[in-house]
Amino acid sequence: MSLQVDGAARGGADVPSGGGGGGDGARRRPRSRVRGRPQLYTSYAADQAIWNTPAKRAWTLALVAAVLVLPFLLSRDLTSLLTTVFIFAIGGIGLNLITGYAGQVSLGHAFFMGLGAYTAAVFGGESTDRVVGLGLDMAIWLPLAGIVPAVVGLVVAPLAARVRGLYLAILTLGLVFIGEHVFKEARSITGGAGVGRAPAEPVLFGVDLSGRYHLFGYILSREDVFYFVCFAIFLVMAIAARNLTRSKLGRAFAAVRDRDVAAAVMGVSLRRTKTLAFTISSFYAGIAGALLVLVIGRVTPTSWNLFLSIDFLAVILIGGIATISGSILGAMFVVLMPRLVSELADVVPFISTSPGTGVFSVFQLQTMLFGALIVLFLVLEPRGLYGLWVRARNYWKAWPFSH
Amino acid sequence: MTDAPLLEVADLTLRFGGMTAIDQVSFSVDPGELFAVIGPNGAGKTSIFNCLSGVYRPQAGSMRFGGEELRGRRPDNIARLGMARMFQNIELFENLTVLENLMLGRHQHLRYGTLSALVYAGRAKRSEIENRRVVEDIIDFLEIEAIRRSLVGMLPYGLKKRVELGRALAMAPRLLLLDEPVAGMNVEETEDMARFILDIRTELGVTMIMVEHDMGLVMDIADRVLVLDFGQHIALGPPGQVQSDPAVIKAYLGEAS
Amino acid sequence: MTSSKARGMVAAFGVVALVAAGCAVDDDDGEPDDPGTVEEDPDDPDDPPEDEPDGLAFDLGVTEEACPAGVNPDNGCIYLGVLSDLSEGPFAALAIPITAGQEAFWQRVNEDGGIGGFDVDISTYTRDTLYDPQEHSARYREIEPNVLALAQTLGTEPTEAILSDMDSDNVIGAPATWWSGWHFEDADQGLILESGYSYCIESQIGLDWVSGNVAPPSSVLAVGYPGDYGGDSAAGVEAWAEANDAEFVGWVETAPDAVVGSQDAAIGQVVGSGADVVMLAVGPAEAAAIVGGSMANGFEGQFLGSVPTWNPALLGSPAADALKAAYLHIAPWEGWEADTPGHEAMRETVGDNLPDNEGFIFGWVWSYPIKAALEAAVANEDLTRAGLRSVVDGLQVDYEGMLPDATFGGDRDESAIRTAVINRPDDDAALGVTPVEAGVTGETADAFEYTAPCA
Amino acid sequence: MTELISSGLIRGLGIGSTYALLAVGFVIIYRATGVINFAQPALMILGAYFTSVFATSVGVPFPLAVLAAMAVLAVIGLATERVALRPMVGKQPFAAAMVTVGVFIVLFVVAHRLIGAQVRTVGDPWGLERASLFGVSVAQVDLAKIVISLFAIAIVGLFLTRSRLGLAMRATSMDQEVALAQGVNVGRIFGLAWAISAALAALAGMLIGTAAGGFEAVVALVALKALPVIIVGGLDSIKGAVYAGLFIGVAEALTRTYQPQYAAWLGANFDVVVPYVIMIIVLVFRPYGLFGTREVERV
C-alpha cells in the first residue's frame, strides 16, 4: 500500500484514487446501512452527516413535530415566550461560536444585537418626524440586520485579535458602553435615550406577520405567526452553525481556542480565524437583536447593556460551552426559568408577590437563582445542561449495567 | 533546484533580553535527509525550531526554505510553505478526537469558503470526504485505527506522540521538524517511533530535522548531526565523526560532571 | 388547552406552507380602526365570551367568581393589571407606594360594594417590570389574557412599548407618568387615562409662579433625563422663556447616578450657566446632588423640581439645607394633609402608618379615571374591553376634590388640567413637604397652545 | 484657572484615586489567582451599605464605622473565595471569572434588598463643606477621597513588600508551584487576596457613597470603571492601577468640565465613556496595557 500524502498535497483538490480505509466515494452513497449496527458506517459521507444515527433522526423529527404543534396548545403569552427561546437560541449560538468554539470571551454581544435591531428598524421601520425609516420588506431588512453587525465585527476584529483572554473580555465590555452612548446620541436612528423607536415592520414578502390568519379553519394569532417565522429562521441558522462547526472552520476555531500557537503552526491563520469568528458571531447577534425587539415591541438604546451580554453568557454556560444543542438548551433555560419561578412563587412561602414585602421579590429570586446557577454549573458541571444530558444518556445506554 | 538544499540557515541569532539563545548558527538540510540537532539542555535546539516555524522572531540571520525566506513570516504562512512540526511537550488539541486532530493537519488542503461550510454541501462536503480519505490512510499507516474517535486528552502518552506525528504528516509537509519524538518513552515505544520515522523517510520521502536527547537513536538513524551548546555551533557532520569530536565530548562531559 | 388532536396534526402539516397559506386566506382584522366594532378573538380557548343573565356583557378579565381576596363574596371579579417598577428599577422608591396607594383605593371601592356587582382585583396581576420596556412588554403579554384593563402602567417608554398591543387588544390603562403625549389621541390611541397636568405644563406653571412670587427670571435652564420626562419638562421651560422674553440657557441632559456615576457634569453646567431659575426633571438623589453641589460651588439661582424629584429621605442627606434654601417642589395635586374628601378618604385607609413618600397619593389619584370608566361601562351594560374602550371619549371624572373634574377626549387645549401645587421641603410636614400655594395657575401655562405632545 | 484646578484636577484626582483603590483590589486578586473579580461592584456597594448602617443607624463614630464595614466585607470576601472560587482552582481563568459574574448577580440582589428602594447616606463628615487649597476653594470630600485612597493603597503596598505574608503573596503570584514548594499555603493566600480586595472595595464604596444626594444600590455599577483602569495599567501591575486610575479620573473630569463647551457634538455625558475610549486607544498600541507583563508563549 502506498500513502498518497504527497500527491494529495501537491494536487490540492485531486482525489487520491483507491485509498484504503474503507470509504466508497461520495457519488455512490449507499442508502442502507447494516441493520442493527447504528455505529457502522459504510461511507464517510454517512459518518459525517449531522444526523448520523437513527436515534438522532427520530429525536429530531419528534422535536420538530412537537415544536410545530405547541402553539396550538399553548396560550398566547407562552407562545411568545417560546418565540423568545428561539431568538435567544440564535443569539446564544452566535456567542457560542465565538466564545465556546473559538475561545474568544466576548462581553460585547449586546452591542452587536443592538446594531442588528437598529439596522432592522432603519431599513424596515416607518419614518416619523423623529426617526428615519425606509419601510422595506423583512426579506431585505432581516439579512441586513445580520450583515451590518457582521461588517462592524469585521472592523473591530483586528484589534480584538491582538488582545487575549480577559483583556479581550474587558475590551468587548468597552464596546457595550461606547455602543450605548452612540445609540443614545444617534437620535435620528434610535430615537434617543428614554424615547426609543418602534421596531421594524414585520412584513415578509408583502405578508403582514402581525395580522391574524386562517389556516385550515384555525385562527393563527400574531404570536403564532411570529412563532413559526422565528422557528424557521432559528432552524436554518442552527443547522448552518452546526455545519460550520463540523467543517474545517469549526476545527480551526477549536484549535485556536485550545492551543493557538500549535494551531498557527498547523497552518491555521489566527487573525483570519478570529476575525471570521467575530464576524459570524456578530451576524447571529444582529439577527437575534432584530427579532427580539419585534417580540418586545420597542427598541430602546439602554436595552443593549452589560446585563444582556451576561444573559447570553449564561445561555452558553448553563447550556453547554461549544455545543449547538447546548446553546438551545441554555436559551430554553434562561428564558423559561423566570416564568417557572414566578409560577412557583405562590407556593414558596418567603417569596413576596406584593411589592416591598417578603424576604425577596419574585424578580429578585429569579435573578439570584440565575446567578447561583451560573456558579453551580461552572463548579459542578462545566459542560452545562448538555453535559447533564450526555450523562443521563450514557447512564441509560448502560442500563441495567450502570453500577 | 534539485541539488539545492531544502533548508539553508545562515547566521541565525535569537536573543531574549540580554540572553543570547542562538548565536550565529548556520547549517543546511538536503532534500530527503534526516538531520539531527543535539546538545545539552538550554543549548537552543527548540529555539531553532521555534524560529523556523515562526513562533519566535530571530534578530539576525536568514532561513531559506525551498528558496523562500522564512524570517518575518507568520507561523501559518510557513506551514503553508510545507513545514510541519511535532512539539516537545505535546501540543495536541485535547478536546478534539484523533480524527479531528488529523483533519486539522489537513487544514490548508481543505479548500472551501465560509459560505460553503455553512451549507455543508457541494464543495465543502466533497473536500471533507477527499481529505478524510487521506487522513484514514495515515491512520492506517500509524496503526491507530482503534482510537480514531477517542478524545486525544484521554490517550496515554505514547499514543499521543503518535497522533501528533500523524497530525504533522497529515499536513503533507516537505520538511518535518521532530522535537524529541521519543522523550519519555519506554524501549518498545521508542522502537515503534523509530520505525515510523524511518518509514516516513523511505516510503514518503519527507525531509526531517530531529531534536533528540536519546543519543543512541540519533546515532542510529540520523544522516548528519548538528551539535549546539549555549546557542553556539560546536560541530556538524555524520554521527560517527561528531561522536569523536573533542569539543562535543567536552560539552557533554562538562554537563555530566 | 382544548385544541383537538386532528387540528394539531393538520396544522403541523400545514404550517410548513405558512406563508402561502397566509397569503391565500388573509383576512385582515389585526388592526381595527374603529374601536367600537372590533370583533373579539372568537377562538381564544382560555376565555370564551360570556353573558350574564341580567344583560351585562363581559368577556376577558371579568369573572362571575369572586376575587381571590375579595370583600364581597357574592360579587364577581374584575381583574386589572399593574405593570410597575417594584424592586430594582430607577423609580422603585416611588412605584412601591404608588402601587400601595392603588391597592388602598380599590380596597375602598370594594368595601363600598364594588362596581356593578363586581369587586376589583389588582394584586393578582401585579408584575414587576423594572422600568424596562422589554420586561414591560413580556409581562404585559403574560397578564393580558386575564385582565380587563391596566390599573397602572409605569413609565412613558415602557408604556409606549406596549401601546400598539394595547390598541389591538382593546386594553385601556392608567399611566404612572405625566408625559404630555397622553393628552393626545394621536399619541396614545385614546387608551391612556392620565390625571393632572403634564411635565410640559408643570414647568410653565412653576416658572409663572416664581416670576410672580420671587422675581421674574431673565434666564432659565432645564436639567433633566433624556427622553419624554426631561424632554417634556425642558420643552415647557423653552416655551415659557419664549413667551416671557427670558433667555433659555439650554437643556442639560444628565442621567441617573447609576449611569453617569455622579452629577458633577450637571453641577458644572448649572454653575456655569448663571441662570436665575433651574427646572429639574431627574430622580430624588440626583436632584439633591445637583442642588447641593451647585450651591456649594457658589450658584445662587432658584431650583424648581418636577414631581418625581422629591423624596422625604432627602431631608437626611447632606444636601438638606441647600434644598430647604433654594428648592421648590411642584406637584399636580395637594400633598398628604390637604383638606379634600379624597385626601381624607385616602388618609383613613392607612391610619397612622404614613407611606414612604407621595407616591401613595399619586397611585390613589391615578385610579379615579379607571373607576369612572368602569362605572360608565357598567351603566352601558357592556363591560367587555371594547365596551370599556368606547366610554373613554367624553368620560367625566370626579376626583373627590383632589383635582378639578376632568373630561377625556375633545379639544385638549381646552380640557387639559393646568393647575399645580407649589411645595417647599419641611422637616415637620408629613411627607417632608408643605404647600406654599395650592391651585396655582399661570398666565403662560394658561395661554400655552396645547395641540400636540411637547416632546 | 480656578475651574481647571477645582473641578478638573482636584475632582478628577478624587474620583481617580477611588478608581485606583478599586483597581488595586482587582489587581491583587488577579495576581494571586489569575481571575478578574467581576463581583467587585457588588462588594463595593455592600461596603457603602454597611458603613451607612454603622454610622447612621447604629451611630458609631464615622472612622470606626468605616473600619467595621471593611472588616465585614473582608469576611464576605473570604467566604466568597472559599465557597465559590476555591473549587475553580486550576480551571480556566475564563470559567473562574464567570463564577465571579454569578457571585456578582447574587450579591447585587442582596445589596438591593438590603438598601431597599430608598436613598441612603453613608454619614460622612465632609458633606458639602469646602476647603481652601493654595487659595482655591475645593470640596473637602475630594481631598478626603485622594488622601484616604492613596493612604490605603500605600499600606497595602507596604504590606506586600515588607511583611512575610505579603512576600508569600508575591511569590504565589509569580509561580504557584514554586510557592507551594516553599511551604506557602496557597489556599490561604487566595483567601487573603479576596479579603484585602473586598475591604478595599468597601472603602471605595464609602467614598462613592458620599454623594450629596446619598447613594442607591445601582451606583455599584460605577465600579465597572475600574475595569478599563486595570486594562490601561496592565492587569498585573499595582503601580499601573494607581497611575491609570488617577490619569483616567482626571481625563474624565476634564472631559466633563470642557467637552460640553468645546466638543458638544460628542453628545451628552460623553465623560462616562471616556475611560473605555482611553482603554481602546491604549490597547491598539499596547495589548498588555502600559505596565502589564506580556505573556511569553512557550511550546
**Is A18 found in the same domain as A76?**
no
A12: nearest CA in chain B? B109
> How many Å apart are CA A361 and CA C403, to the nearest integer?
34
What percent of chain A has a predicted confidence (pLDDT) above 70?
85
Provide the β-strand partners of residue A215.
A218
Is chain B in touch with chain C: ≥3 Cβ pairs within 8 A? no
- C284 and C401 in a single domain? The answer is no
CB pairs under 8 A between A and D: 122
The CATH classification of domain B1-82+173-257, taken from the options 1.10.3720.10, 3.30.565.10, 3.40.50.2300, 3.40.50.300 = 3.40.50.300
What residues contact residue C275 under an 8 Å CB cut-off, 6+ apart? C217, C219, C220, C221, C249, C301
Choose among C30, C103, C145: nearest Cβ to A76: C145
Residue C434: what pLDDT?
Answer: 92
Residues A145, A239 within the same domain: yes
In a domain, C54, yes or no: no
Same domain, A115 and A208: yes
Residue of chain D whose Cα is closest to the Cα of C91: D117
Q: What is the DSSP letter of A14?
A: P
Contact (CB<8Å) A213/C142: no
Best of D27, D81, D89, D99 to substitute, by most chain A Cβ atoms within 10 angstroms, is D99
The verdict on C293 and C325 lying in the same domain is yes
Instruction: Please tell me whether residue B202 adopts helix, strand or coil conformation.
Output: helix
Residues of A in contact with C160 (CB under 8 A): 196, 298
Q: Which residues in chain C have Cβ-Cβ distances shorter than 8 Å to A295? A: 137-138
Q: Is the pLDDT reported for residue C9 higher than 50?
A: no
Task: Check whether A17 has a pLDDT greater than 50.
Answer: no
Strand order in the sheet with C327-331: C247-253, C219-224, C277-281, C302-305, C327-331, C420-425, C433-440
d(CA A182, CA A159): 19
Residues C147 and C230 in one domain: no
DSSP string, A275-321: HHHHHHHHHHHHHHHHHHHHHHS-B-GGGSSHHHHHHHHHHHHHH-T
- Determine how many CB atoms are found less than 10 A away from the CB of residue C399: 22
Q: Is residue C39 part of a domain?
A: no
The pLDDT tens digits of the residues spanning A83-108 come to 999 999 999 999 999 999 999 999 99
Range D211-236 average pLDDT: 89
Picking from B196, B241, B187, the residue whose alpha carbon sits closest to that of residue B216 is B187
Contact D231 A167 (CB under 8 A): yes
Domain match, A166 and A17 both: no
Cβ-nearest to A243 among B76, B120, B172: B120
CB-based contact, A93 to chain B, within 8 Å: no
For every residue of chain C, which 3-state class applies, written as one string? CCCCHHHHHHHHHHHHHHHHHHHHCECCCCCCCCHHHCCCCCCCCCCCCEECCCCCEECCCEECCCCCCCCCCCCEEEEEEEEECCCCCCCHHHHHHHHHHHHHHHHHHHHCCCECCEEEECCCCEEECCCCHHHHHHHHHHHHHHCCEEEEEECHHHHHHHHHHHHHHCCCEEEECCCHHHHCHHHHCCCECCCCCCHHHHHHHHHHHHHHHCCCCCEEEEEECCCHHHHHHHHHHHHHHHHCCCEEEEEEECCCHHHHCCCHHHHHHHHHHCCCEEEEECCHHHHHHHHHHHHHCCCCCEEEECHHHCCHHHHHCCCHHHHHHHEEEEECCCCCCCCCHHHHHHHHHHCCCCCCCCHHHHHHHHCHHHHHHHHHHHHCCEECHHHHHHCCCCCEECCCCCCCCEECCCCHHHHCCCCEEEEEECCCCCCCEEEEEEEECCHHHHHCCCCCCCC
Which residues of A are less than 8 Å from D84 in CB distance? 375, 379
Number of domains making up chain A: 3
Residue C96 to residue A215, Cβ atoms within 8 A: no
Domain boundary among A272, A304, A336: A304
Backbone dihedral region for residue C328 (phi beyond 0: left; psi -120 to 50: alpha; all else: beta):
beta
What pLDDT, on a 0 to 100 scale, did the predictor assign at position C292?
A: 93
The per-residue pLDDT of chain D, averaged, comes to 88
Chain B contact set for D299 (CB, 8 A): 46, 50, 55, 87-89, 91
Q: Which of A304, A335, A368 is the last residue of a domain?
A: A304
What whole-number distance in Å separates Cα of residue B63 and Cα of residue B22? 13
Q: Secondary structure of chain B: what % helix, strand, coil (to 5)?
A: 45, 25, 35
First and final C-alpha spacing in chain A: 45
Q: Which residues of D touch B50 (CB under 8 A)?
A: 299
If you average pLDDT over residues C96-103, what whole number do you get? 93
CA distance A342 to A365: 9
* Domain limits, chain D: 2-222
**Chain D residues in contact with A262 (beta carbon < 8 A):** 299
CB contact under 8 A, C26 and A221: no
Q: Is residue A161 part of a domain?
A: yes
Chains touching B (3+ CB pairs < 8 Å): A, D
The answer to whether residue D250 scores a pLDDT higher than 70 is: yes
Compare all CA atoms of chain A with the CA of B144 and give the residue at the minimum distance. Answer: A21
DSSP letter at D55 equals: I
Give yes or no for a cis peptide into C404 (omega within 30° of 0): no
> What phi-psi label fits residue C154: left (phi over 0), alpha (psi between -120 and 50 degrees) or beta?
beta
What's the Cα-to-Cα distance from D275 to each of D55, D226, D235, D293, rounded to whole Å?
A: 32, 9, 15, 21
A51 in contact with C, Cβ within 8 Å? no
Closest CA–CA distance from residue D225 to any residue of chain C (Å): 9
8 Å CB contact between C293 and C254: no
What confidence score (pLDDT) does residue A26 get? 42
Does residue A143 sit in the same domain as residue A219?
A: yes
Chain D environment of A356 (Cβ under 8 Å):
117
Asked if B111 and A21 come within 8 Å (Cβ–Cβ), the reply is: no
Range in A353-362, B160-169, C308-317, D171-180 the model is least confident about: A353-362
What would the pLDDT profile of C143-166 be if each residue is shown by its tens digit?
A: 988 999 999 999 988 898 899 889
Are A206 and A99 in the same domain? yes
Phi, psi at D25, each rounded to 5°: -60, -45
Please give the tally of structural domains in chain C. Answer: 2
Q: Residue C453 and residue C174: Cα distance in Å, rounded? A: 18
In-domain check, residue C26: no
Task: Give the span between the Cα atoms of D37 and D53, in whole angstroms.
Answer: 25
CB contact under 8 A, C141 and A218: no
Angle at D100 between CA D281 and CA D272, to 5 degrees: 35
Residue C14 lies in a domain: no
Residue % of chain A over a pLDDT of 90: 46
What pLDDT score was predicted for residue C41?
45
CA–CA dist D243, D241 (Å, integer): 6
User: Closest Cα of chain B to A373: distance in Å?
Assistant: 24
Confidence label for A354 from pLDDT (cuts 50, 70 and 90): low
Among D residues 280-299, those touching chain B with beta carbons less than 8 Å apart: 297, 299
Predicted local distance difference test score (pLDDT) of residue C43: 43
* CATH number of domain containing C162: 3.40.50.2300
User: Could you give the residue range(s) of every CATH 3.40.50.300 domain in chain B?
Assistant: 1-82+173-257
A/D touch flag: 3 or more CB pairs below 8 Å: yes
Query: Subunits touching C (CB < 8 Å, at least 3 pairs)?
Result: A, D
Burial grade of D157 (CB within 10 A; 0-12, 13-18, 19 or more): middle
Average pLDDT in chain C: 85
Which structural domain, as residue segments, surrounds residue A344?
Answer: 305-390
Distance CA C298, CA C322 (A): 11
Amino acid at B45: K
Asked if residue A292 lies in contact with residue A305, where contact means CB atoms within 8 angstroms, the answer is: no
C285 contacts chain D (CB < 8 A): yes
Asked if residue C289 and residue C264 are part of one domain, the reply reads: yes
Question: Quick check: is A403 in a domain?
Answer: no
Query: How is residue B183 annotated by DSSP?
Result: T
Return the residue of A nearest to D106 by Cα.
A368
Domain-embedded: residue C41: no
Structural domain boundaries, residue C141: 59-196+339-414
Shared domain for A168 and A310, answered yes or no, is: no
Chain C residues whose beta carbon lies within 8 Å of the beta carbon of residue D205: none
Could you tell me if residue C5 is inside a domain? no
Q: Does the pLDDT at position C281 exceed 50?
A: yes
Same domain, residue pair A249 and A371: no
Residues C144 and C138: their CA atoms lie apart, in Å, by: 10
The predicted pLDDT at position D296 comes to: 56
- pLDDT band, very low/low/confident/very high, at D295 (cuts 50, 70, 90): low
Task: Tell me which chain C residues have a C-beta less than 8 angstroms from the C-beta of A353.
Answer: 123, 126
pLDDT digits (tens, 9 = 90+) for B155-214: 999 899 999 999 999 999 999 999 999 888 888 889 999 999 999 999 889 999 999 888
Return the CA Rg of chain D: 19
- Measured CA to CA, the distance from residue C113 to residue C107 in angstroms comes to 10
**Lowest pLDDT segment from A145-159, A380-394, B52-66, C140-154:** A380-394
Burial label for A93, CB within 10 Å (0-12, 13-18, 19+), is buried
